[in-house]
Protein backbone atom coordinates (compact mmCIF):
# COMPACT_ATOMS: atom_id res chain seq x y z
CA UNK A 1 0.00 0.00 0.00
CA UNK A 2 1.48 3.30 -1.10
CA UNK A 3 1.72 6.48 0.91
CA UNK A 4 -1.05 8.05 -1.19
CA UNK A 5 -3.48 5.37 -0.04
CA UNK A 6 -2.60 5.98 3.60
CA UNK A 7 -3.19 9.72 3.26
CA UNK A 8 -6.45 9.12 1.39
CA UNK A 9 -7.72 6.63 3.97
CA UNK A 10 -6.80 8.82 6.95
CA UNK A 11 -8.51 11.79 5.29
CA UNK A 12 -11.64 9.72 4.65
CA UNK A 13 -11.68 8.56 8.27
CA UNK A 14 -11.39 12.18 9.41
CA UNK A 15 -14.20 13.36 7.10
CA UNK A 16 -16.62 10.47 7.62
CA UNK A 17 -17.96 11.43 11.07
CA UNK A 18 -18.44 15.16 10.30
CA UNK A 19 -20.31 14.28 7.09
CA UNK A 20 -22.63 11.92 9.00
CA UNK A 21 -23.08 14.52 11.75
CA UNK A 22 -23.98 17.16 9.15
CA UNK A 23 -26.51 14.74 7.62
CA UNK A 24 -28.17 14.33 11.03
CA UNK A 25 -28.15 18.11 11.52
CA UNK A 26 -29.91 18.61 8.18
CA UNK A 27 -32.33 15.76 9.02
CA UNK A 28 -33.44 17.10 12.38
CA UNK A 29 -33.34 20.76 11.39
CA UNK A 30 -35.75 20.10 8.51
CA UNK A 31 -38.86 21.29 10.31
CA UNK A 32 -37.32 24.66 11.24
CA UNK A 33 -35.59 25.64 8.02
CA UNK A 34 -34.51 24.50 4.60
CA UNK A 35 -33.37 20.93 4.43
CA UNK A 36 -34.84 17.72 5.57
CA UNK A 37 -35.08 14.12 4.62
CA UNK A 38 -34.03 14.18 1.00
CA UNK A 39 -30.95 16.31 1.50
CA UNK A 40 -29.97 14.45 4.67
CA UNK A 41 -30.38 11.10 2.93
CA UNK A 42 -28.12 12.12 0.07
CA UNK A 43 -25.49 13.54 2.45
CA UNK A 44 -25.53 10.34 4.53
CA UNK A 45 -25.15 8.20 1.41
CA UNK A 46 -22.24 10.37 0.27
CA UNK A 47 -20.35 9.52 3.47
CA UNK A 48 -20.53 5.83 2.59
CA UNK A 49 -19.71 6.43 -1.08
CA UNK A 50 -16.59 8.28 0.06
CA UNK A 51 -15.77 5.35 2.34
CA UNK A 52 -16.17 2.94 -0.57
CA UNK A 53 -13.85 5.02 -2.74
CA UNK A 54 -11.09 4.71 -0.16
CA UNK A 55 -11.65 1.26 1.31
CA UNK A 56 -13.38 -0.62 -1.49
CA UNK A 57 -16.88 -1.68 -2.34
CA UNK A 58 -16.72 -5.04 -0.57
CA UNK A 59 -15.58 -3.45 2.69
CA UNK A 60 -18.48 -0.98 2.49
CA UNK A 61 -20.92 -3.80 1.75
CA UNK A 62 -19.72 -5.51 4.92
CA UNK A 63 -20.44 -2.32 6.86
CA UNK A 64 -23.89 -1.83 5.29
CA UNK A 65 -25.14 -4.98 3.54
CA UNK A 66 -27.41 -4.59 0.49
CA UNK A 67 -30.22 -6.47 2.31
CA UNK A 68 -30.19 -3.72 4.97
CA UNK A 69 -30.57 -1.14 2.22
CA UNK A 70 -33.56 -3.00 0.78
CA UNK A 71 -35.14 -2.95 4.23
CA UNK A 72 -34.28 0.75 4.65
CA UNK A 73 -35.93 1.70 1.37
CA UNK A 74 -39.16 -0.10 2.24
CA UNK A 75 -39.24 0.93 5.90
CA UNK A 76 -38.63 4.59 5.04
CA UNK A 77 -41.62 4.61 2.70
CA UNK A 78 -43.68 2.78 5.34
CA UNK A 79 -42.86 5.48 7.91
CA UNK A 80 -43.95 8.19 5.48
CA UNK A 81 -47.18 6.46 4.50
CA UNK A 82 -47.77 5.28 8.06
CA UNK A 83 -47.68 8.88 9.26
CA UNK A 84 -50.35 9.73 6.71
CA UNK A 85 -52.56 6.82 7.77
CA UNK A 86 -52.06 7.72 11.43
CA UNK A 87 -53.48 11.18 10.72
CA UNK A 88 -56.42 9.56 8.90
CA UNK A 89 -57.13 7.25 11.85
CA UNK A 90 -57.02 10.25 14.20
CA UNK A 91 -59.79 11.93 12.22
CA UNK A 92 -57.83 14.30 10.00
CA UNK A 93 -56.88 14.32 6.36
CA UNK A 94 -53.92 12.37 4.99
CA UNK A 95 -50.77 14.03 6.44
CA UNK A 96 -52.81 16.60 8.40
CA UNK A 97 -50.26 16.90 11.18
CA UNK A 98 -52.41 19.08 13.44
CA UNK A 99 -54.39 16.01 14.58
CA UNK A 100 -51.21 14.53 16.08
CA UNK A 101 -51.37 17.08 18.91
CA UNK A 102 -54.71 18.89 18.61
CA UNK A 103 -54.50 20.71 21.96
CA UNK A 104 -51.19 22.41 21.20
CA UNK A 105 -51.15 26.14 20.61
CA UNK A 106 -47.57 25.96 19.31
CA UNK A 107 -48.11 23.67 16.30
CA UNK A 108 -46.46 20.74 18.07
CA UNK A 109 -48.36 18.34 15.81
CA UNK A 110 -46.87 20.01 12.74
CA UNK A 111 -43.35 19.61 14.10
CA UNK A 112 -43.89 15.99 15.11
CA UNK A 113 -45.48 15.06 11.79
CA UNK A 114 -42.78 16.73 9.73
CA UNK A 115 -40.04 15.01 11.76
CA UNK A 116 -41.69 11.62 11.24
CA UNK A 117 -42.18 12.12 7.50
CA UNK A 118 -38.70 13.57 6.97
CA UNK A 119 -37.15 10.67 8.90
CA UNK A 120 -38.90 8.23 6.58
CA UNK A 121 -37.81 10.18 3.51
CA UNK A 122 -34.23 10.37 4.77
CA UNK A 123 -34.05 6.64 5.41
CA UNK A 124 -35.55 5.79 2.01
CA UNK A 125 -33.33 8.23 0.11
CA UNK A 126 -30.09 7.23 1.85
CA UNK A 127 -30.82 3.55 1.28
CA UNK A 128 -31.82 4.08 -2.34
CA UNK A 129 -28.81 6.25 -3.20
CA UNK A 130 -26.39 3.79 -1.63
CA UNK A 131 -28.10 0.84 -3.34
CA UNK A 132 -27.78 2.62 -6.70
CA UNK A 133 -24.09 3.21 -5.98
CA UNK A 134 -23.61 -0.46 -5.08
CA UNK A 135 -25.24 -1.53 -8.34
CA UNK A 136 -23.23 0.82 -10.54
CA UNK A 137 -19.91 0.34 -8.73
CA UNK A 138 -20.26 -3.45 -8.65
CA UNK A 139 -21.17 -3.80 -12.30
CA UNK A 140 -18.81 -5.65 -14.56
CA UNK A 141 -17.29 -3.68 -17.40
CA UNK A 142 -18.80 -4.53 -20.76
CA UNK A 143 -16.34 -5.80 -23.34
CA UNK A 144 -15.45 -3.33 -26.04
CA UNK A 145 -16.07 -4.04 -29.71
CA UNK A 146 -12.34 -4.70 -30.13
CA UNK A 147 -12.48 -7.58 -27.61
CA UNK A 148 -14.52 -9.70 -30.04
Residue ranges of domains in the chain: 3-138
pLDDT in tens, the chain (148 residues): 555 689 899 999 999 999 999 999 999 887 676 668 999 999 999 999 999 999 999 999 999 999 999 999 999 999 999 999 999 999 999 999 999 998 888 888 888 898 999 999 999 999 999 999 999 998 877 777 776 6
**Alpha helices, DSSP H, located in 29-107:** 37-55, 57-63, 66-89
pTM above 0.75, yes or no: yes
Amino acid sequence: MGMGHVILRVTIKLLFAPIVLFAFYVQFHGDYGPGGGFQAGVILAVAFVLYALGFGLEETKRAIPPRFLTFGMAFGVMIYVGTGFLTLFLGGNFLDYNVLDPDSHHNAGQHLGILMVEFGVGMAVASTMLQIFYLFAGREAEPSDDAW
